[in-house]
Chains A and B, each alone.
Chain A
């Protein structure tokens, strides 16, 4: 019993977690749906009556995206079960070299899933916290709709469907990620 609980608390190695994440695709296909989560950001706009003045958001969000918004809500439930009820009691372990690089940039690794110094409510009123949360979030929402997909729709579904546009988008994700990690993050942590 305790070994099962220990296994559920995780963390899970890549060769267990990877296939389990991939299984989401056939689960949704069995219901006739394609795995892609960033559309939900558009559906959330379409829910707001004022936003529907723009034709891009004037569609039947219940019909188009009701199922996907439920998946999105479910993810939060799964996050609660995995991150609160069955939380891993140990701190998140990362590579020594990453800890060192972050320390040099001025951030102490705190063992949480995301650093409280950047993502807590109080850090919203610091310059680095504000930039990371608000600017970072904005870029996610803007970029994913421009690219017509995110990590799920392009990197998982799109690559698995062998679509060229998805490969282009994933290369773009990576270029942007490298720029942010090596240029923007050190800059922001120094603010």
Chain B
């Protein structure tokens, strides 16, 4: 497909089949691994927060290690994306309150549902359709944050 696409339109257009296929494929890969790793299991999350198993810590630890090696390489060798653009990293704003208070709030939801945003999608796909309720509630949570954010400490 890519060979027939003119260079000028190769980068962005959200309507091109190649664009859609690439991101769908990466998501599908990630979703498949989430299921096989069982890190989207409510029971596995319970295990983790009770310190009864090393599984979740091992998964997250090695995932961070592989990601860190990739990011270190990008920075060290100034690697560019396949499209030729320089890769920019997001720098989180200074401060601590939003990270601590927001983090604790998110953590409560993570342990209650045994899922975070990625796993919610994978669980719905895996046939646990009740998680669409969790997804709708999470969207409402984000919407509510948008309504009250000016009054919250950041």
Contact = CB atoms under 8 A, between A and B. Distances in A.
Contacts of B74: 29
A77 B43 contact: no
Contact of B60 (A29, A80, A156): A156
Contact of A172 (B49, B63, B99): B99
A176 B107 contact: yes
Contacts, number: 521
A113 B128 contact: yes
Contacts of A57: 143, 146
B103 A141 contact: no
Contact of B49 (A66, A138, A177): A177
B117 to A, nearest CB: 4
A51 to B, nearest CB: 6
A45 B135 CA distance: 12
Contacts of B102: 143-148, 169, 172
A143 B38 CA distance: 23
A82 B40 CA distance: 12
A152 B112 contact: no
Interface in B19-72: 19-20, 22-50, 52-68, 70-71
A179 B27 CA distance: 31
Nearest to A51: B143
Contact of A143 (B120, B129, B136, B141): B141
A158 B43 contact: no
Sort chain A's interface into a size bin: 35 or more
A143 B93 CA distance: 17
Contact of B126 (A24, A44, A80): A80
Contact of B42 (A118, A170, A176, A184): A118
A172 to B, nearest CB: 2
A84 B126 contact: yes
A32 B105 CA distance: 30
A74 B64 contact: no
Given A75-B125, A114-B43, A143-B108, A161 B34 contact: no
A62 B14 CA distance: 7
A145 B122 contact: no
Interface string A132-150: 1111111111111111111
A-B pairs, 8 with minimum CB distance: A172-B103, A74-B27, A176-B107, A83-B126, A78-B31, A141-B141, A18-B62, A22-B66
Interface of A: 8, 10-15, 17-32, 34-38, 40-42, 44-45, 51, 54, 56-57, 62-63, 66-68, 70-84, 87-88, 92, 94-95, 97-98, 101-102, 109, 112-115, 118-121, 123-124, 131-152, 154-166, 168-182, 184-185, 188
24 contacts: A14-B55, A19-B63, A25-B66, A37-B116, A41-B141, A74-B24, A75-B31, A78-B27, A81-B125, A83-B128, A101-B52, A113-B41, A139-B105, A140-B134, A141-B145, A143-B104, A143-B141, A144-B102, A145-B145, A148-B102, A165-B99, A166-B92, A175-B104, A185-B112
